[in-house]
């Protein structure tokens, strides 16, 4: 069974909700997908300590998805002496280090006056993946992932995930979109092949018909056919009052610490 828990449901600018992040549990695996600043607080609220987390998957490099990763790196290494497996593509992991983490993690005083530069692999076991193909997170565990490139921000490498124990069975598969513009083909296929579709949703249009939006808007999603809309659970929203999603034909807005499972 896969148990998926939302550690955060909010957008980048939320003050009431933790930024979007999920915990995926299956067998011995406890994997966090994305690490915004509140991630350590969120896993503590859930009842875990960092040394119980086994893997981290990074979908893209915006701060609300990686802003807590430096603290995770330092605490896992120096407080817990625990190496997590960090999963993404080789290009994304390279940019994660060079453009985001290197400044704070390259030099640490392992011993007095030590000037040895550190690398990402000094903090994590880096696991690079191929996209658009199913892969086992661990060879001896059933959990599989399928990383799908998203249309989010131009030239920003971004992935959504299908998460499954058996990709041939709808009831054992969950689609987590991460940050994405509206993709009608993805949704048409997702509702057929996945038990749950957990979808990015901002509460407003950016320009007419959301032409400047980098997230799917609630208004766009409302125009989808009822047979698709009814399967969509919505997250990554701001702090303004929420519409009545169920009255509008959606499965609903996801709540903080809400659980989805494949059993």
What are 57-93's pLDDT values in tens digits? 999 999 999 999 999 999 999 999 999 999 999 999 9
What is the model's pTM? 0.97
CATH number at residue 13: 3.60.15.10
φ/ψ (deg, to 5) at 23: -115, 125
Tell me how far apart the alpha carbons of residues 147 and 133 are, in angstroms, rounded to a whole number: 7
Which pLDDT score, from 0 to 100, does residue 78 have?
A: 95
Query: Which residue, chain included where needed, has tokens 């949703």?
Result: 201
Max Cα distance, the chain (Å): 64
| Chain centre distance of CA 231 | 19
Query: What was the pLDDT predicted at 114?
Result: 81
End-to-end, the C-alpha distance of the chain in Å comes to 6
CA distance 259 to 121: 32
Triad 199, 90, 4: Cα angle to 5°: 30
DSSP symbols for 154-204? TT---EEEEEES-TT-GGGEEEE--S----HHHHHHHHHH-SEEEEE-BSS
Q: Is the dihedral of CA 250, 256, 259, 260 positive or negative?
A: positive
Tokens describing residue 53: 């987390």
In terms of residue numbers, what domain contains 222? 3-261
Q: What percent of the chain has pLDDT over 70?
A: 100
CB 95 within 8 A of CB 158: no
Q: pLDDT digits over 216-237, tens only?
A: 999 999 999 999 999 999 999 9
Residue 140 has pLDDT above 90, yes or no: yes
Cβ-based neighbour number of residue 164 at 10 Å: 26
CA quadruple 62, 65, 67, 71: dihedral sign: negative
Q: How many domains does the chain have?
A: 1
Mean pLDDT of the chain: 97
**What does the pLDDT average to over 190-206?**
97
pLDDT in tens, 120-129: 999 999 999 9
How many angstroms separate the CA atoms of 145 and 228, rounded?
23
**Is the confidence at residue 160, as pLDDT, over 90?**
yes
Tell me if residue 14 falls in helix, strand or coil: coil
């Amino acid at each position: 069974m896969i148990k998926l828990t939302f550690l955060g449901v909010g957008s980048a600018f939320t003050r009431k909700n933790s930024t979007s992040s999920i915990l995926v549990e299956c067998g011995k695996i406890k994997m966090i997908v994305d690490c915004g600043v509140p991630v350590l607080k969120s896993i503590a609220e859930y009842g875990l300590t960092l040394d119980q987390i086994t893997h981290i998957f990074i979908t893209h490099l915006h701060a609300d998805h990686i802003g807590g990763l430096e603290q995770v790196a330092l605490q896992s290494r120096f407080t817990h002496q625990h190496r997590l497996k960090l999963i993404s593509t080789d290009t994304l992991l390279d940019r994660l280090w060079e453009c985001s983490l290197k400044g704070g993690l390259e030099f640490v005083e392992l011993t007095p006056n030590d000037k040895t530069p550190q690398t990402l692999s000094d903090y994590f076991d880096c696991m690079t993946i191929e996209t658009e193909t199913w892969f086992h997170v661990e060879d001896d565990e059933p959990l599989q992932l399928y990383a799908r490139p998203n249309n989010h921000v131009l030239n920003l490498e971004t992935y959504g995930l299908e998460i499954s124990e058996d990709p041939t069975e709808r009831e054992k598969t969950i689609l987590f979109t991460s940050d994405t513009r509206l993709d009608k083909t993805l949704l048409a296929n997702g509702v057929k092949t996945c038990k749950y579709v957990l979808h990015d949703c901002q509460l407003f249009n950016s320009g007419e018909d959301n032409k400047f939006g980098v997230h799917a808007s609630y208004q766009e999603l409302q125009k989808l056919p009822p047979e698709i809309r009814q399967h969509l659970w919505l997250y990554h929203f701001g702090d303004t009052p929420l519409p009545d999603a169920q009255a509008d034909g959606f499965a609903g807005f996801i709540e903080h610490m809400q659980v989805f499972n494949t059993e």
